[in-house]
Amino acid sequence: MTIQEIENEIIEEFASLNELGGMEEKILYIIELGKGLLPLDEKFKTEQYLISGCQSRVWISAESKSDKVYFQADSDAIITKGIIALLIRVLSGQSPEDIINAPLQFIDAIGLKEHLSPTRSNGLVSMIKQMKLYALAIKTKNT
């Protein structure tokens, strides 16, 4: 699936949550996504993989396989873990070029950013920036 197709899928899922109860339902769903995130190998839970600018501690790693970028991540905060799970769902398994150019419109479309505290919102921006930097590094390495 393309990034846009995955984003559209997420937007539809969150639209149905609006009908069920709004933001509270969205937060519960994000928490469930976080619980479903695969555990991050302890070797990546170091300063090198820690995202600065986040209120909670977030670690992200990336690897290249068959010209695609695959992300793994973890956080010590369950909502943040759910947010990174959403980002992984959209960006993991995509080409570096597509990741770098992804506008990630689903974030505004589902109303996520507007319901985050300023520090969590900054953390979201930092996570996206780091994922795009990983993609850029992999693209540069592969050319």
The position carrying tokens 């990983």 is 134
Task: Please provide residue 21's backbone torsions phi and psi, each rounded to the nearest 5 degrees.
Answer: 170, 5
Which residues lie closer than 8 Å to 65 by C-beta, 6 or more apart?
none
Catalytic residues: 54
For 66-128, the DSSP string reads TTEEEEEEEESSHHHHHHHHHHHHHHTTB-HHHHHH---THHHHTTTGGGS-HHHHHHHHHHH
Q: Is the dihedral of CA 41, 42, 47, 52 positive or negative?
A: positive
